[in-house]
């Protein structure tokens, strides 16, 4: 009886462990699993990259590294050996699912396909691969910028202003197309406030910059509104003297990188502190 009870407890714990392993992927899976498959493991990273291969008309195959929130899902085959699906069946299922969702298949080779899917919450890059065992793996990157955790401190802000006449910040965050500050901007704003309060004789422009996506006039307005949002936050929340601050927006007029790719556009979306 004790042996049976111990076995039952072990089975129950295993079932719970599997359920817990599946749960983190609930919001990351874009498509249902193949029949007779379950999630064996799920690995999620707040920020990582996925190398995507793509056929480009008139050119050879190109590769690109796409960065953002990454999820890798390991699907195991639970059915009878005689019903193991072929690699082609798995890949074709996912190819069709990507296309039906409005996406595109970028490249197919052997046991791997690469796809792209645009949704309301962003662009997803997809890799599906299988080794013929019936198991397969789906890697997904939801393209987005990295949250900057290490920020410039007050002393370094002063050094940059002395050396370059400005300090550049990538740790100030806004929702796409909006001028509302995100809470994770706090670490950077706190250091800016420390610098300004320690140096009351220094006056600065808070300058908003955008990439060149969209309408220039709209971006000009947006960049100024974002600069104003930073100024207001520094005054209201961090008690910085308002006479030290002035807001300006320059849209995409002062890029620091090419706007032809996402990596460059990410560098161009920034806030600068410019000494008057």
% pLDDT > 70, the chain? 90
Q: At what angle do helices 154-164 and 186-198 cross, to 10 degrees?
A: 70
Going by pLDDT thresholds of 50, 70 and 90, the confidence category of residue 55 is: confident
Mean pLDDT (the chain, rounded): 89
Beta-bridged to residue 139, according to DSSP, are 72, 127
The whole-number pLDDT of residue 12 equals: 41
Going by pLDDT thresholds of 50, 70 and 90, the confidence category of residue 26 is: low
Going by pLDDT thresholds of 50, 70 and 90, the confidence category of residue 24 is: low
What is the number of other CB atoms lying within 10 angstroms of the CB of residue 134? 21
Does 155 score more than 70 pLDDT? yes
Question: CA nearest 210: which of 274, 151, 272?
Answer: 272
pTM assigned to the model: 0.66
Q: Which two tokens stand for residue 38?
A: 């379950």
Distance separating alpha carbons of residues 159 and 73, to the nearest angstrom? 45
CA atoms within 13 A on the CB side of 258: 4
The whole-number pLDDT of residue 149 equals: 82
Q: Which two tokens stand for residue 85?
A: 């699906």
Polymer length in residues for the chain: 276
Q: Give φ, ψ of 240 to 5 degrees.
A: -80, 140
Q: Which two tokens stand for residue 28?
A: 């990351």
Going by pLDDT thresholds of 50, 70 and 90, the confidence category of residue 121 is: confident
Domains of the chain listed by start with CATH number? 2-143 (no CATH), 154-275 (3.30.1330.60)
Question: CA nearest 264: which of 227, 211, 188, 208?
Answer: 211
H or E stretch at 131: none
DSSP E strands, the chain: 37-54, 62-77, 104-109, 112-119, 122-130, 136-143, 166-169, 204-209, 245-249, 270-275
Going by pLDDT thresholds of 50, 70 and 90, the confidence category of residue 59 is: confident
* Edge-to-edge strands, sheet with 166-169: 166-169, 270-275, 204-209, 245-249
């Amino acid at each position: 009886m004790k042996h049976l009870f111990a076995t039952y407890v072990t089975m129950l714990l295993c079932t719970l462990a599997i359920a817990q392993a599946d749960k983190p992927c609930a919001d990351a899976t874009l498509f249902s699993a193949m029949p007779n498959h379950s999630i064996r493991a799920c690995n999620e990273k707040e920020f990582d990259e996925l190398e995507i291969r793509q056929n480009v008309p008139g050119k050879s195959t190109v590769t690109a590294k796409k960065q953002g929130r990454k999820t890798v899902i390991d699907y195991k085959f639970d059915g009878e050996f005689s019903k193991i699906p072929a690699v082609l069946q798995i890949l074709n299922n996912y190819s069709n699912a990507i296309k039906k969702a409005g996406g595109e298949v970028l490249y197919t080779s052997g046991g791997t396909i690469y796809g792209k899917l645009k949704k309301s919450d962003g662009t997803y890059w997809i890799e599906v691969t299988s080794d013929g065992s019936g198991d397969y793996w789906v890697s997904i990157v939801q393209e987005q910028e990295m949250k900057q955790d290490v920020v410039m401190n007050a002393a370094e802000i002063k050094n940059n202003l002395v050396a370059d006449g400005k300090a550049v910040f990538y740790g100030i965050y806004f929702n796409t197309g909006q001028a509302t500050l995100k809470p994770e901007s706090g670490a950077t704003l706190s250091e800016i406030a420390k610098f300004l309060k320690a140096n009351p004789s220094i006056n600065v422009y808070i300058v908003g910059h955008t990439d060149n996506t969209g309408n220039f006039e709209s971006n000009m307005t947006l960049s100024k509104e974002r600069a104003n949002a930073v100024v207001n936050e520094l005054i209201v929340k961090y008690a910085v003297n308002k006479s030290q601050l002035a807001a300006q927006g320059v849209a995409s007029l002062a890029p620091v990188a090419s706007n032809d790719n996402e990596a460059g556009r990410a560098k161009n979306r920034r806030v600068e502190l410019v000494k008057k």
